[in-house]
A and B are shown apart, each in its own frame.
Chain A
């Protein structure tokens, strides 16, 4: 039996590297081929949906949904038009009446806040209230009367509460002042303009 000794020019790992090259390359090629075939054929087949009246690929679903949503919106609009008879004058009257009702709500809300703002120590008295539909403003004129010198602070709190109303975008307030009457009561007159949404 002859004994072979490794040559100094051929490192011992080289044959293994050579031997592994073909299986590694075959595995990689098979891996790629499998995934390519899967991507081309298996995946689309798996993800295709069969509805009662159509077969949809994933790419068809979103456009189909948009088409159906557009159809629904068109049918709803047509049905709503039938419900309002699609009549321009009827719609005009209805919208104008709804707008007026919305402004009256602002009027009611402002008066409610005014009533609630009157406490034991301070009374809010409105001398004039004016609502202007076209300008969408509500003017409140009056005074806060109190027996203690807190009317100016109470007026500021009143303005804040009016400003917090859902229908109000801003409040223009007159300067905050306080005067003492001869009878010793404290008075803060005000003129406020509420701007409606």
Chain B
């Protein structure tokens, strides 16, 4: 008679144990639901909403890459040919370096800034050095130096003039962020017109400096939005673009054309020394590294 209540108590206890176990397991499952939903709402959903835009961008970029490929096939690397012929030639061209630095001195003279100039010194080219980012391409650098005596406010002008020795195209003097912005806007507005943007980047710097509006207007035929026009204007007001425009639109541009010294040979500034003279003028000694293909 005593076994029945005990059996019933054990059965009851078993049921409660089952209930407690199921409740804990259920609570754990409920917590996993909440975690999954929170993760979905906080992480997965925002990312998922970006996927269509990312896929659209890929389609646009593919279109741009194909258009740029076609453009490249048509132009056939003309910029590179000019770069190798004039800016960074196989053999150092003493004539072109002297012509360029003479044109700089003549420009300063025409502007009433030059008091005296030294001969141009060109040392023998050094040993081949690897070009950063390449395992096969090397360059040999020759030291080039020249000294100008100028009024103190002529130094900035002289530096502006020598800064055009090297850049060949408009793209070479655009700030990296401005290039990136123009590319991003071209994606949004008219992806297929990237060839127009490529032509703008490849536009000859001297031709642009002589006719800046024509080059910009040509590009704006393909991109008509105000945002693009504003970004282009900002890019063209960049420090280096302005300096190149100012230098090449003056007497220097004409002298380089007359002397057939454009594109100018690359001259990388190595040192600059400005020494004040007793008469208030300054001696500006500029030393450059002139590269030739190794």
Contacts and interface: CB of A to CB of B under 8 A. Distances in A.
Interface of A: 10, 17-18, 21-22, 24-25, 27-29, 31-32, 34-36, 38-39, 43, 47, 49, 51-53, 56, 58, 61-62, 64-65, 68-69, 71-72, 75-76, 78-80, 82-85, 87-101, 103-105, 107-108, 125-134
Contact of B133 (A29, A68, A88): A88
Interface stretch (B24-32, B118-126, B214-222): B24-32
Given A22-B15, A61-B47, A128-B273, A94 B26 contact: no
14 contacts: A17-B12, A18-B12, A21-B11, A24-B15, A47-B36, A53-B55, A56-B51, A61-B44, A61-B48, A85-B79, A92-B131, A93-B167, A100-B268, A101-B240
B47 A128 contact: no
Contact of A127 (B16, B30, B84, B276): B276
A39 B29 contact: yes
Contacts of A133: 268-271
Nearest to B198: A83
Nearest to A27: B19
B276 A68 contact: no
Contacts of B21: 28
Interface of A is mostly: helix
Given A65-B47, A84-B171, A51 B79 contact: no
Contact of B26 (A24, A32, A58): A32
B68 A31 contact: no
- 8 closest A-B pairs by CB: A28-B22, A35-B29, A75-B61, A28-B19, A21-B15, A82-B68, A25-B15, A68-B54
Interface string B39-50: 110011001101
A75 B65 contact: yes
A28 B18 contact: yes
